[in-house]
Chains A and B, each alone.
Chain A
Amino acid sequence: MHELSIASSIVESVLTFAEGPPPRKIVKVLLQIGELTCVEPEQLAFCYTAITRETALEGSTLEIEPVKAEVVCRHCGYEGRPRYWDDALADTCIATLQCPRCDKATEAVGGHECTIRTIRYVEP
């Protein structure tokens, strides 16, 4: 699944940074994952741990910070959190592009992030 390909992209980017010069020991990678992004954080963290084994990144942790969705409505001017469909199926609340104020179509302006935000490292 593509959590693995995203984990690979993370490892590739961070390894390049870790190589330096000077070489650095990576402690933690902080990722921002938007609410509207189709990426499963737990699977991603699992893939990251699995593929960093026996690499220079072994032992480093992946921390995922969720980013909430933000929408704007060109019809009524609403700006803010999306309307949620909370009884679609058990457990999950689904973010929608229906305006919480006027019911018309909104556009997402935030919540699609899939970004390396911070790399925490130690310079030996």
Chain B
Amino acid sequence: MIQIEANPEEIYDIELEHSLLEANQKLAKENRGLLDRHGITAIDFMGAIGSGKTTLITRLVEKLKDRMGVAVFNGDATTSNDADTIAGYGVPVVQIATINGCHLDANVVGKACSKIDLKKLRLIFIENIGNLICPAEFPLGSKARVVVISVTEGPYMVRKHPHMFLGAQLVVINKIELAEIMGVSVEELARDVHRLKPDLKVIPTSCKTGAGLDDVAEAILAV
């Protein structure tokens, strides 16, 4: 391996303050500005694969679509399965295929915004990639981040992904109808969340029974 050894008299240092996350942050601010001007609240849903993000978004779309304009951006590595499901409810859906990407970014979300008519919308649900590490550093321009975990992922999901929770405004603990069989305590998961961020709202839900879904809808509309 070549290593550069410099002669001490010839070395110069240039001092910068160049943020590497700035480019995405700037685009996120632009997205947020655009959405604010149209009176639209965008919600970024994050969670591991299988946590129930799509089902939760689908249930929320069912509940709200007759009261207000709702659109969904669906980030998926390779398939359009989720987007197709939601499109069946008659709301605008934009599929963002990320192929090898591990997170959505403000750039692709900005492009998705240009693909729909923003005029009659009140809510945009953005389903992020099923990954609880990478999306944390890449704001999209949403008004709030919702982290979805499920009891089927075990008792340590909060401890394993602290950064994700520190940046969230709402946590949904899903599939609570399976908590007993899984031997996972919803209360302990909620306690873990509050050890990280004391004021973070936690709503236990079951998309199967409908428990907690009205609370989630209310929390989203109050953002």
Contact = CB atoms under 8 A, between A and B. Distances in A.
A13 B1 CA distance: 23
Interface residues of A, number: 43
Interface string A11-51: 00100010000001111000000001111000000000000
B12 A122 contact: yes
B24 to A, nearest CB: 10
Contact of A27 (B2, B11, B156): B11
Interface string B10-28: 1111111111110100000
Contacts of B14: 17, 118-119, 121
Contact of A114 (B15, B21, B166, B199): B21
Interface string B114-130: 00000000000000000
Contact of B195 (A25, A98, A115): A98
A3 to B, nearest CB: 10
Contacts of A24: 12
A94 B196 CA distance: 8
Contacts of A98: 194-198
Nearest to B1: A59
A8 B195 CA distance: 35
Contacts of B17: 115, 117
Contacts of A65: none
Nearest to A112: B21
Interface string B126-161: 000000011011100000000000000000100110
Nearest to A98: B198
A121 B12 contact: yes
A64 interface: no
Contact of A9 (B3, B20, B133): B20
Contacts of A79: none
A115 B20 contact: yes
Given A39-B137, A113-B19, A96 B195 contact: yes
The winner among B14, B17, B18 for most chain A CB atoms within 10 A is B18
A24 B160 CA distance: 43
Nearest to B163: A38
Contact of B102 (A1, A17, A60, A104): A1
A104 B21 contact: no
Interface string B74-111: 00000000000000000000000000001100000000
B20 A122 contact: no
Given A6-B20, A13-B18, 7 more contacts: A85-B196, A95-B162, A98-B195, A114-B19, A117-B15, A119-B13, A122-B12
Interface of A: 1-2, 6, 9-10, 13, 17, 24-27, 36-39, 58-61, 85, 88-89, 94-99, 103-105, 108, 113-123
6 contacts: A1-B102, A10-B20, A26-B4, A27-B6, A59-B3, A96-B197
